Structure 1
Amino acid sequence: MKINWTGFSKKTPLERQKLISSLLTEEKQTLLRDNKQLALKTADQMAEHVLGTFSLPFSIAPDFLIDNKIYHVPMVTEEPSVVAAASFAAKLIKRSGGFTTTIHNRLMIGQVALYDLKDKKIAEQIISSHKEQLLSHANEAHPSILKRGGGARNIWTEEKEEFLIVYLSVDTQEAMGANMLNTMLEAIAPILEEITAGKSLMAILSNYATESLVTAECSVDLRFLSRNIEEAQQLAQKMELATHLAQVDTYRAATHNKGIFNGIDAVVLATGNDWRAIEAAGHSYATQGGLYRGLSNWFYDRKKQQVHGKLTLPMPIATKGGSIGLNPTVQLAHELLNSPSAKELASVIVSVGLAQNFAALKALIGTGIQEGHMKLQAKSLLLLVGATEKEATILLPRLLKEKHRNQETAQELLIDLRNQK
């Protein structure tokens, strides 16, 4: 069923729920309507010292065209303008052909760090000669993954100062695979110690998931930057320059990448994944070459009169395991996405990051980041000082005209409005 998203932002939450009801089963519609939260009993099993549960806004960014398929993307974030920016970018990019993605690989990497070796070169040769035995032992430690088509794929070594590091790559299928990797690594660590006569310092997965890279790309026609062709061309040049700035200046790169993760983290949270692992992988990847750089690139294609964006990231995302099966809202999020595979979900998430980046850059090089952001921030201020929804609607235009749009000004405007009644 095709959904008319026109005016979606102006609707009430109940009206939005009704509009998207065709995307959900009756059970999930009820869950959404009742705003059912994670059960306290379940939460107590997920973490320690639990006192209660903590809520954040659960939103949807509709109509992402990714690899010729439409996705309505769930997002969890408290930051104003993130969902609006992603939705705006998705709309423009869809009109220009949408996103295309490439899954470069889908393997997780772990490591056993060996030390106190008499001769690291000889140890490397020994490990190489026992490669098949080590892979077999790793798989025996977690046999269920073999039944699902996954398992240990490769072992290699690298000398780094006093350490000889043994790396293991594993196809974790739909799981993120942290426990799987750690089980396998701990299983082969004693064998490595025995055959090399060295000592194992630790056996642990790495969040630097360079064997789980995903690339998202899109092109945007210049007419979507501005109706004025000369202004559009200037904006395209500035967008290209803006990403170059993020390549040469770390101060800008940090904020550039934070904007990308505004969108990525929101989807990772909504789908029950480990946003800390995804951030660690992404920021580590940004340091390739020794300088922390912007993760995305945009260039102005003068021949086609388009700007072309590209974002490559490690994306060790999961659709099984962890809290994914425990949290009812997470299950709802996966249903909204039509229950994607891990590879498919990775493509969606990187595309959202690129969309978020496009929206931020377009605002920065155009009207400035504050124009759209401050409108939502101003409404939050009014609600914070106690304004009702109706009062906030009346006072928002007044607050936006004020020189100092802060909590004190919002409070004064609210008092003034109520004194007039």
Structure 2
Amino acid sequence: MPVTSSRLPGFFKKSVEERRTTVCDLAGLNDEEREAVAAAGELSDEAADRIIENVIGTYSLPLGVATNFIIDGKHYVVPMALEEPSVVAAASNMAKRCHARGGFTSDCTPPVMIGQIQVCRLKIDAQVARNAILANKTKLIEMANSVDPILVKFGGGCRDVEARVLETDAGTMLIVHLLVDCRDAMGANAVNTMCETIGPEVGELCKGVVVLKIISNLAVHRLARVNGVFTAKELSTSGDEEEGRSIINGILDAYAFAKADPFRAATNNKGVMNAISPIAVATGQDWRAVEAGCHSYASYKHGRVAPFVAWSRNGDGDLVGYIEMPAPVGLIGGAARVHPCARACVKLLGVKTATELGTVLAAAGIAQNLGALRALATVGIQQGHMKLHAKNLAVQAGAASAEVDAVVARATASGRVTAASIKAALDAERSGLPVPPQ
């Protein structure tokens, strides 16, 4: 059932069990799904052995939920599986600051993936070969669609065939593209099978040797497009619009830096993926395909390393974030259906289509980027990050479970959270020294 509200005040103050109960109740998870979440997402050896090869065990990551997301008028509690502190908190915080204008809005393209067929050592002119492919487009589409009648039945299938001449170090090649509407599947298996099926016919038409027959992860036809509008009042720390306008100026300065400098853009984009990839992991997606698509698309679109999220100011003085990213995700097949925790996360998220899942990834990317830019433009990235990282540092310093909170409190009271201050706080705690006033 859809989540009625993503606003969960005081959620971070609850225990793990209380949080789990809250979100499971909110999403209407059944006992089996609740158990899948509570069992740390672990697979049995038998289940793991069916997913990859040479299995020796399984590996757990923390599973958190980002709150406050409203996309196209619908509330979402967003599962994220990752190891980095501050990501879930920042995404939740920034999503909350997108409510005055109604939340995020999307405008996505159909779920079309590209399959590539490489034809080498042409015995006829490359343009003649290209024209032969285009002249037989209808036949090739019919051959491709004969492979997956179920996909066609549900409104998907091969939509078009393109061909382009490519000059390479190995000579002139003809590259044939199949454009396949994959509906709610990521589509790799269907696209690859279609390419392999029509490969011999393509080779005969071109009078060349067909080599590669494979999907492309540069999914330029399967794009999630999302906007977020943030008022100056929302972006301020205390509701002061003047402060908010100053923060907007800082964010736009930071964006201009990333837009002009590839070294900044690369790190900026890593921050965007801090939110996108953990959602893909939690919901059982091929997160490497998502990563590859996003990074390559930015360079493809701009001709250089460029920021994923574009920031501007509208006529009302609001900050506007816009992202356009490939969304090669699916709800059919793969780990999304095999992994019990991934299935539970998909239900918790409440998405009904692969396209909807893509909008959630994109909105989270905007929120996470805003969180980083806002921190960089004000207090700096480390203040919030190190505060949330403090518990990890305490454990690394040797603190027992019962000591961690007290050690973090001491270090925070000292005004600076570092490995050294945490170690000093642990020594002070064990020596019984009084906690310094903040």
| TM-score where L is the length of structure 2 | 0.91
Single out whichever of 234-243 and 23-32 deviates more from structure 2. 23-32
Q: Which residue of structure 1 lines up, in the alignment, with residue 146 of structure 2?
A: 140
Q: Distance in 2 between matches of 1:47 and 1:81?
A: 31
* 1:17-64 CA-partner distances (Å, limit 9, x unpaired): 222232222322233344451111111111111110000001111231
Give 1:259 deviation, angstroms: 0.7
1:251 is matched with which residue? 263
Corresponding letter in the other structure for 1:275: W
Residue equivalent to 1:10? 13
| Partner of residue 293, structure 1 | 306
Contact 2:6 2:67 in 1 (8 A): no
Asked if the contact 2:219–2:326 (Cα under 8 Å) also holds between the matched residues in 1, the reply is yes
Shift of 1:412: 4.7
Identify the residue that residue 120 of structure 1 maps to in structure 2: 126
Q: Following TM superposition, by how much is the alpha carbon of 1:231 offset from its aligned partner in structure 2, in angstroms?
A: 2.6
| Structure-2 separation of matches of 1:64 and 1:228 | 23
Following the alignment from structure 1 to structure 2, what is the Cα–Cα distance between the partners of residues 219 and 348? Answer: 16
User: Match for residue 330 of structure 2?
Assistant: 318
Provide closer, same or farther for how the CA distance between residues 36 and 153 of structure 1 changes in structure 2, counting only shifts above 3 A: closer
C-alpha contact (below 8 Å) 1:268/1:274 kept by paired residues: yes
The answer to whether the 8 Å contact 1:3/1:20 transfers is no
CA distance in structure 2 between the partners assigned to 1:387 and 1:221 by the alignment: 42
The code of the aligned residue for 1:181 comes to V
CA distance in 2, matches of 1:169, 1:36: 35
Confirm or deny that 1:76 pairs with 2:81. yes
Equivalent residues in 2 for 1:227-266, closer than 5 Å: 227-266=239-278
Aligned residues: 419
| Distance change >3 Å, CA 28–CA 219, structure 1 → 2 | same
* TM-score, normalisation: structure 1: 0.95
SS at match of 1:340: coil
Q: Using a 3 Å threshold, how does the CA distance of structure 1 residues 36 and 77 change in structure 2: closer, same or farther?
A: closer
Counterpart CA distance in 2 for 1:320 and 1:20 is 24
- Residue 372 (structure 1) aligns with: 384
* Structure 2 residue matching 1:204: 3-state secondary structure: strand
Structure 2 unaligned residues grouped into runs of 5+: 434-438
- Tell me, yes or no, if structure 1 residue 53 matches structure 2 residue 58: yes
Given that residues 222 and 307 in structure 1 are in contact (C-alpha distance below 8 angstroms), is that contact kept between their aligned partners in structure 2? yes
1:223, CA displacement in angstroms? 0.7
Cα pair distance change 1:144/1:160, threshold 3 Å: same
Deviation at 1:358, TM superposition (A): 1.1
Q: C-alpha deviations, 1:70-92, integer Å up to 9, x for none?
A: 11111111000000001101111
Partner of 1:153: 159
| Cα deviation code 1:356-414 (max 9, x no counterpart) | 111111111011111110001121110233323441111113334376812x6534532
Q: Determine the structure 1 residue equivalent to 2:222.
A: 212
* Secondary structure at 1:211 match in 2: coil
Aligned to 2:98, what secondary structure does the other structure show? helix
| Pair 1:99 & 2:104 matched | yes
* Unaligned residue ranges in structure 1 (runs of 5+): none
Indicate whether 1:274 and 2:306 are aligned.
no
**1:316 and 1:2, CA in 2 relative to 1: closer, same or farther beyond 3 A?**
closer
Structure 1 residues 119 and 240: alpha-carbon distance in aligned structure 2, compared to 1, 3 A threshold: same
Structure 1 residue 132 displacement after superposition: 0.8
Distance 1:128 1:32, change over 3 A: closer
- 1:157 touches 1:164 (CA, 8 Å); kept in 2? yes
1:65 matched residue in structure 2: 70
Residue equivalent to 1:225: 235
1:110 to 101, 110, 115: 115
CA distance in 2, matches of 1:330, 1:404: 35
Provide closer, same or farther for how the CA distance between residues 385 and 71 of structure 1 changes in structure 2, counting only shifts above 3 A: same
| Residues 110, 173 of structure 1: alpha-carbon distance in 2 compared, 3 angstrom cutoff | same
Q: Any idea what the Cα deviations from partners look like across 1:134-156, whole Å, max 9, x if unmatched?
A: 11111112222112221111001
Q: Which residue of 2 aligns with 1:166?
A: 176
CA distance in 1, matches of 2:396, 2:13: 21
For residues 84-122 of structure 1, the C-alpha deviation after alignment (integer angstroms, 9 at most, x for no partner) is 001101111124310000112310001111111130011
Contact residue 237 and residue 300 of structure 1 kept, 8 A: no
Cα shift at 1:201: 2.0
Deviation at 1:417, TM superposition (A): 2.3
How far residue 330 of structure 1 moved from its aligned partner, in angstroms, is 0.3
> Residue 202 of structure 1: SS of its match in structure 2?
strand
Return closer, same or farther for 1:163/1:273 CA change in 2, 3 Å cut-off: same
Distance of 2:309 and 2:201 partners within structure 1:
42
Q: Percent identity?
A: 37
Match of 1:362 in 2: 374
